[in-house]
Amino acid sequence: MLCLNDCVVVVVVVVRVYVWTDDHGRKLKCSAPLYFDYAMSYIQELLTDEDVFPTKTGSVFPAGFVFLVQKVFLLFFRTLAHIYWCHYRETLALGLHPHLNTLFAHLTLFCQQHGLLEPEDTEPMLDLITALGQQR
């Protein structure tokens, strides 16, 4: 794992610090590894919840489904943004940058196609999105 305990907060660019919002609406400033653990646990919980992501034919998706999908993709986007801003050298050293770029390109194109992220969400990564030729 690239992000160890030395990442005290989730940073994307110098001016963006993300905080986790718990089930009670409280904002928690936490280390990057803890933030991503919360995020991935939350996503896993949603994906395995039959009421949120029904798997049976004819099942109805819940009201608010699009909001939940937007949140999932925002969490994925923030994870990749943190890796780019704080751990890109490590991905280069490990030769993983082509995979990271491909993953990021697929994620951003999908989000653009389906309107899943707001412009203020993608703003910190706009230069990379533009460099990858994805800006519309």
Q: What is the pLDDT of residue 97?
A: 95
Is 87 labelled a binding residue? yes
Is 97 labelled a binding residue? no
What are 114-123's pLDDT values in tens digits?
999 999 999 9
Q: What is the pLDDT of residue 101?
A: 95
Ramachandran class of 53: left when φ > 0, alpha when ψ lies in -120 to 50, beta otherwise: beta
Is 82 labelled a binding residue? yes
Domains in the chain, start-ordered, CATH in brackets? 36-131 (1.20.140.30)
Question: 90 and 2 in contact (C-beta within 8 Å)?
Answer: yes
What are 69-95's pLDDT values in tens digits?
999 999 999 999 999 999 999 999 999
Percent of the chain past pLDDT 90, that is, above it, reads 75
Query: CA geometry: angle at 7 spanning 106 and 98, to 5°?
Result: 30
